[in-house]
Structure 1
Amino acid sequence: MNRIDRLSAILIQLQGKKIVKAAEISERFNISLRTVYRDVRALQEAGVPIGAEAGTGYYLVEGYHLPPVMFSREEAAALLTGEKLMANLSDHSNRKEFSNAMQKIKAVLRGSEKDFLESLEDNIAVVSRRPPVGEEFPNRFLSDIQYALGKQQMLQLDYFAMHSETLTKREVEPIGIIYTSGNWHLIAWCRLRHGYRDFRMDRIKNVSVSADSYDKTRHITLKEYMDRYGEYEAQAHMVKLRFPRAFARRIGDQKFYYGLVEEQAVGECIEMTFLAPCLEWFGRWLLVWGSVPEIISPAELADKMKELALEIKQHYL
């Protein structure tokens, strides 16, 4: 990148945040701190009102705005790809907001870039392996949760716990959101349980943002949570099952709801791999299929199935 382009990019970066540290600029453009100081000084000499706080960073003086930003063809294509991803991986609330933002972005594109995007529109697709979330839990709260995170405000949830099949009311202090294994998760301090909890957002029936605020400095960061509790998906149990090929078709879309991550043909069978957050909950679903599935791993699941089968036998005796 030549210096003129870099100066323009630094100016855009300054407008994007309240305070930008010199180290952030250095890391982004792979330049030395001395070069950062020279570039900022050059912008100031050109009349850009850049202020500095010792030990904190640079900022643009309140009221200064850049003219509308123009996007390159590659940047426009990247934004279109992002829109396709949002349509499949986000929830109803964010889909609408991102779509509105994209309309504004497309409005400032040059004619040639608009034509390019239109020709590209039908040639990018994102296919999710998971079926859409049912309307019983509409999963439209991502925007509300993001607002609460930004404003440090409490959230009140009506949350459906799958393992106990009960709806509980929770008052939580959010620390972050994670997208993993096909679902969004809210990580928060739960006042009911007096500890950090993982709430799958498609199991949240209702959300309200409380007027009460909380002090986020009392909590660990999202990164600290993930580091402390290990690799995020490692919290789930890796389950491998084998079904006769002809029988596997009967399972249909249920396998997606129970955490399917992979399936492959093995001889006359279909081997399925799941990430199960709770072996008992997973085992109760497995009972539906009787003696048909073969449990490859883990051994704890086979033990759990014996317990569940004995429980049913004793119930009907």
Structure 2
Amino acid sequence: MNRIDRLTAILIQLQGKKIVRAAEIADRFNISLRTVYRDVKALQEAGVPIGAEAGTGYYIVEGYHLPPVMFSKEEAAALLTGEKLMEQFSDHSNKKQFSLAMEKIRSVLRGSEKDYLESLDENIAVLRYQPAKTEAEEFPNRFLSDIQQALGMTQVVSMEYFSLQEEVATRREVEPIGIFHISHNWHLIGFCRLRQGYRDFRVDRIRKLTVLSTSYRKDKHPSLQNYLEQQRQRNREENAYLIKIVIDNDIMRYIRDQKYYYGLMEEKVTGDQTELTFLHAHLGHFARWIIMLGNHAKVIQPQELKTAIQDLVKELHDHHF
């Protein structure tokens, strides 16, 4: 990247955040801190109002804006892919907001970029295979934007939540700490004032939601990343079984993603087989996975897993014969 392109990119980076540390700029462009200082000084001399806070970072003075940004074909194509993903993996509120944002983006594209996107549009698809929900099962599924607002403004949310476990709807007031997507569903992690503890709420099970004017202290709660890591560590320590299996090398490529889902800890090749060590909480769940691998997999430990597999095999035999 030449210096002119780098200066433009730094300017965009500065406008994208309230404060940007010099180290962030250096890491992004693989340059030294001294070069960062020179680049920032060059922007200041060119008339860009960049301020600095000692020990914190750089910022652009409030009120300054870049002229409209032009996108390359590759950037526009990446945004189109993002739109396709949003259509399948977001809720009604975020789909609408992203669609409006894409309209604005398309409006600033040059004619050739617009033609490029139109030619790609019908040739990119994101498929999501899951049973269609009936009208009675389909909740509003339109609260992600409200939850994001509550997270950004540290506001309490009041919601009517339907618990699959208890099969009943309850009114909750929640201090949200983060959202994440896993296994086709969005989840809200928050401190539930009713239960006086942190809870995991599936967003598509929220029937009604209101962002309250009441604020909460963010520093009272762990970050989302810290909370999820604490949960993973707790599961390992309290519930998980240490599992060792061996699998034939010629089928390892078929489980390269699955093995991480089942809690892979260690992988060691021994001849024409690979020894895998896992921490997993549910032996029945793990046993069903091992059965799918047929005689290409063998359990070393624990004995309880071997027994679970034997029970499943007997159950299948009794069912089919």
Q: TM-score scaled by structure 1?
A: 0.74
Within 1, Cα distance between the matches of 2:74 and 2:104?
18
One-letter identity of the residue aligned with 1:183:
N
Deviation track 1:210-238 (CA, whole Å, cap 9, x = no partner) reads 11110010000001101111179779857
In structure 2, distance between residues paired with 1:222 and 1:38: 36
2:21 and 2:58 in contact (8 A); partners too:
yes
Given the superposition, is the C-alpha separation of residues 79 and 169 from structure 1 closer, same or farther in structure 2, using an over 3 Å criterion?
same
Flag the 1:82–1:132 CA change in 2: closer, same or farther, 3 A.
farther
Contact 1:240 1:297 in 2 (8 A): no
Show the 5 A alignment for 1:1-317: 1-135=1-135, 136-230=138-232, 237=282, 239=285, 299=308
Name the SS for the 1:42 alignment partner.
Answer: helix
CA contact (8 A) 1:133 1:202 kept: no
TM-score by length of 2: 0.73
Residues 236 and 108 of structure 1: is their aligned pair in 2 closer, same or farther, counting only changes over 3 Å?
Answer: farther
Long gaps (5+) in structure 1: 243-260, 268-295, 304-317
How big is each residue's C-alpha offset from its partner over 1:180-222, in whole Å with a ceiling of 9 and x where there is no partner?
1110000000111111110011111111111111001000000
Change (3 A) 1:216 1:297: farther
Structure 1 CA distance for aligned equivalents of residues 82 and 158 of structure 2: 30
- Relative to structure 1, the CA distance from residue 105 to residue 212 in structure 2 (aligned partners, 3 Å threshold; closer, same or farther) is same
Q: Kindly report the root-mean-square deviation, in angstroms, between the aligned alpha carbons of the 2 structures.
A: 2.8
C-alpha distance in structure 1 between counterparts of 2:86 and 2:110, whole Å? 24
Seen in structure 2, the aligned counterparts of structure 1 residues 266 and 219 have a Cα distance that, compared at 3 Å, is same
- Describe the SS at the equivalent of 1:55: coil
Q: Distance in 2 between matches of 1:59 and 1:44?
A: 11
> Aligned with 2:67: secondary structure?
coil
CA distance in 1, matches of 2:223, 2:94: 23
Looking at structure 2, the residues matched to 16 and 2 of structure 1 have their Cα atoms a distance apart, in angstroms, of: 21
What secondary structure does 1:239 align onto? helix
1:241 CA displacement: 8.2
Runs of at least 4 residues off by over 4 Å: 132-135, 231-238, 263-267, 296-300
Unaligned stretches of 5+ residues in structure 2: 236-260, 264-279, 296-304, 313-321
- Seen in structure 2, the aligned counterparts of structure 1 residues 159 and 41 have a Cα distance that, compared at 3 Å, is same
